[in-house]
Amino acid sequence: MMSVPFRVATNDPSSQTTRIGEERNLAARPSYLRPVPTASSNDVVAAELERIGTALPYARGALVIEEGNSAEYVFKVTRGALRSVRLLADGRRYITSFLLPDDFFGLADTTVYSQTVEAIADAIVIRYSRRSFEGLLERDARAGRHFLGLVCGELSAAQDRLLLLGRKSALERMAAFLLAMVDHKTNTSTPPGQIEIELPMNRSDVADYLGLTVETVSRLLSHLRSRRIIDLPTTNHVIFLDREALEDICAGNV
Amino acid sequence: MMSVPFRVATNDPSSQTTRIGEERNLAARPSYLRPVPTASSNDVVAAELERIGTALPYARGALVIEEGNSAEYVFKVTRGALRSVRLLADGRRYITSFLLPDDFFGLADTTVYSQTVEAIADAIVIRYSRRSFEGLLERDARAGRHFLGLVCGELSAAQDRLLLLGRKSALERMAAFLLAMVDHKTNTSTPPGQIEIELPMNRSDVADYLGLTVETVSRLLSHLRSRRIIDLPTTNHVIFLDREALEDICAGNV
DNA sequence: CGCGTGCTTGAACATTATCAAACAGTGTGG
DNA sequence: CCACACTGTTTGATAATGTTCAAGCACGCG
């Protein structure tokens, strides 16, 4: 019922094998040598992007972009996980989104970054200069449409989260979050009825994502465990014992 | 400090003079007769749009699009005001945005509308068939970039509202809302210190926009009035007596 | 004039935050 | 290798913010 509150992902499986600590410039051939586009829109855009991007590694905790800095680059996650953060003057924090492989970020900020992005696990991101990125959009109408589609998906996800924050209870938010997390892991074809995931973020991050406090998040998870809806063998390892119950909670059937 | 939580507006002053009850098809000349683009990007896109749009009037309370219906059209507000609504099964409601002149809507929904849009005042909207709209994007890279910019702006506004809903108090939300409303009215060049606006929406709409209840909204407005920060000569007429105080509240300085 | 809808105000209540303390896991240094 | 410190998590008690329920008010309309 709920759509996934994470940034939409593209479907190109260009799995980078770059290791942490290594840097690789993907801009190899000059533009006049690139092949004439023949494949599907997404493939062509992906190829164009690869030409102008640079893969960068970030260790857990590292700062990728900082709110207020000049928005010179656009990024795409290849590996790992990051968080996109907005801060208030008095220290209150809100996590706009968790960024996972194939998610873009920095796209919507045309002059200055409106949020800080930090790695919550060792990560690899591909960096594109905004100039070359805009050049791509200028030349290729398909690229524009492609990114329009991506940003529209993000907008739709953001609006789902507005409803979540504006009108749902703490327990409903938690259930929605867990379901979104597990649905994002559709690739892991585990047998139904015994699905499990490893959360890449800590309680504090979950709290700041759901607009709650760490204590409430902890209590809600304990509550779900006591109801045998989930299990928590370790802090970040969640086993889904009763997915339907979560969906009921999500739908408002306490 | 807060960015305006309304949809971004384009800058083309193509003020329609169509009256309520009238319908006008703007697609006059066939595409091969349209002039070669020479003006700025926005102007060209606006001209293209005018060619494929149909102006439609909606009376106060009328339904423009309904959540779940096939997303056949894209719209742009010309006159009046509308609300974009998401509903939960049990009746809880959230207002994603208020739509004012020059705002687009329906853009982000590619297959099915994800929200209901209703007129909260008599309104005129221009309707574009998605097919012709997509055709425009296909042909003209500038159109794609133009709308990418628009949707990015909306995304950024939505993220501001996520922070607002996730981390701000009721009073802070109210102050932010009032400031956003008054800033949206920058065209009315009233003398500083005595700015006033007429709210197009009722208390219930404000509540569903800020994630509060009608009673809380009412109490907050009374509170601000008793503090001589605003005045309310009639229910929807707000006079700003102390804008700085509102900005302080917004910034977290109670 | 009386009804209806939307707004305001009050009192009791619920949910979630805050404050506080204990606990678990991990890495460090003796 | 163990004790210690550090950070993140859990749990409990208390408090605050905002909701719910209830009643009265104001404005517009038949």
Torsional sign, CA A44, A47, A49, A51? negative
Lowest mean pLDDT among A12-16, A208-212, B80-84, B189-193: A12-16
Q: Which residue has the higher pLDDT, B128 or A6?
A: B128
pLDDT tens digits, residue range B198-247?
999 999 999 999 999 999 999 999 999 999 999 999 999 999 999 999 99
The nucleotide lying nearest A221 (C-alpha to C1') is D10
pLDDT tens digits, residue range A160-200?
999 999 999 999 999 999 999 998 876 545 555 568 999 99
Chain B residues whose beta carbon lies within 8 Å of the beta carbon of residue A160: 86
Distance from CA of A17 to the nearest CA of B (A): 31
Confidence (pTM): 0.83
Residue with tokens 């928590």: A232
Chain B residues whose beta carbon lies within 8 Å of the beta carbon of residue A140: 141
Distance from CA of B138 to the nearest CA of A (A): 6
pLDDT of residue A140: 82
- Mean pLDDT (chain A, rounded): 83
In chain B, the residue whose alpha carbon lies closest to the alpha carbon of A139 is B141
The footprint of strand C (CB < 7 Å) covers A 169-171, 211-213, 215-216, 234-235; B 202-204, 214-215, 217-219, 221-222, 232, 235-236
Does B41 have pLDDT greater than 80?
no
Does B168 have pLDDT greater than 70?
yes
User: Are A148 and B148 in contact (CB < 8 Å)?
Assistant: yes
Does B109 have pLDDT greater than 80?
yes
Task: List the beta bridge partners of residue B87.
Answer: B93
Selecting from A141, A155, A167 the residue whose C-beta is nearest the C-beta of B88 gives A167
Chain A residues whose beta carbon lies within 8 Å of the beta carbon of residue B85: none
Distance of CA A212 to the CA centre of its chain: 20
pLDDT of residue A49: 77
Q: In which region does residue A197 sit, left (phi positive, over 0), alpha (psi from -120 to 50) or beta (all else)?
A: beta
pLDDT tens digits, residue range B46-78?
777 777 899 999 999 999 999 999 999 999 999
Name the strands in the sheet holding A53-58, side by side, starting at the edge strand that comes first in the sequence: A24-25, A53-58, A123-129, A73-79, A104-105
What distance, in Å, lies between the first and last C-alpha atoms of chain B?
Answer: 16
Selecting from B92, B165, B252 the residue whose C-beta is nearest the C-beta of A90 gives B252
Selecting from A93, A110, A156 the residue whose C-beta is nearest the C-beta of B108 gives A156
What does A117-151 look like in DSSP terms, one character per residue?
EEESSSEEEEEEEHHHHHHHHHH-HHHHHHHHHHH
Task: List the beta bridge partners of residue B112.
Answer: B70
